[in-house]
Amino acid sequence: MSDNRKRYRETGAAPLNYVAGLGRGATGFTTRSDIGPARRCDNDPHVIVAVATVFWQDRKVDKARSWLNRAVVLNPDLGDTWAYFYKFEKQQGTEQSLAELVARCVRTDPRHGRYWTRVRKAPENARLKTDEVLKLVAASLPHP
C-alpha cells in the first residue's frame, strides 16, 4: 500500500493534489474501482466526460471517443461536452471527424454549460456563431 493511501486511512483526509471524483494524479488513487462507480452513473454527462478525460489521459483514444460521444448524445444541449469533444478531436482525430463534430454541434445549437455560457454571454461574443463559440470554449477549457 502506498504512503498516500496509508496517510489517507490514518487521517481521513485526501492528499492535497487529489481531486475528488476524478481520482487522477500521482497519489496512487487511480484504480478500476475509482472508475467503476462512474460507469454505473450512465445518466450524468458531467461524470461521463470526467471518465472520458481519464481515458484520454491514459491514451485510450477509442474509449475516450466513445465516452465523449455518449455524453453529447445524452445531453446535446450541454455545450461544455461539445467543447471537450472538439478539443479531443482536434488533438487526436482527423480533419474530417473534426468537421463532422462541428456540423453536429451547429445542428444541435447547445445553450448550457459552465464554460459555454461564460463565453456565449460575454458582450464581445454576442454576434458569434455556434462554431466560433465552440472553438473559443474549447480553447478556454482546462487541459484534461
pLDDT given for residue 31 in this prediction: 53
Round to the nearest angstrom and report the end-to-end CA distance of the chain: 27
Helix, strand, coil distribution of the chain in percent, nearest 5 = 65, 0, 35
Q: Which uninterrupted H or E stretch holds 97?
A: helix 95-108
pLDDT given for residue 43 in this prediction: 84
pLDDT given for residue 28 in this prediction: 46
CATH number of the CATH domain containing 116 = 1.25.40
Q: Which domain holds residue 101?
A: 37-140
Does a structural domain hold residue 32? no
Number of domains in the chain: 1
Task: Fill in the amino acid letter for 11.
Answer: T
pLDDT given for residue 17 in this prediction: 46
pLDDT in tens, the chain (144 residues): 556 556 555 655 555 444 455 545 444 445 555 566 656 677 889 989 998 999 999 999 999 999 999 999 999 999 999 999 999 999 999 999 999 999 999 999 999 999 999 999 999 999 999 999 999 999 999 877
pLDDT given for residue 139 in this prediction: 96
Task: Fill in the amino acid letter for 2.
Answer: S
Does a structural domain hold residue 17? no
Task: Fill in the amino acid letter for 99.
Answer: A
pTM of the model: 0.74
Does a structural domain hold residue 25? no
Does a structural domain hold residue 68? yes
Does a structural domain hold residue 79? yes
| Three-class DSSP category at 54 | helix
pLDDT given for residue 29 in this prediction: 46
pLDDT given for residue 27 in this prediction: 45
Task: Fill in the amino acid letter for 132.
Answer: E
Cβ atoms of 86 and 133 closer than 8 Å: no
Tell me how far CA of residue 60 lies from CA of 21, 55, 130, in angstroms: 20, 5, 29
Return the C-alpha cell found at 94.
482527423
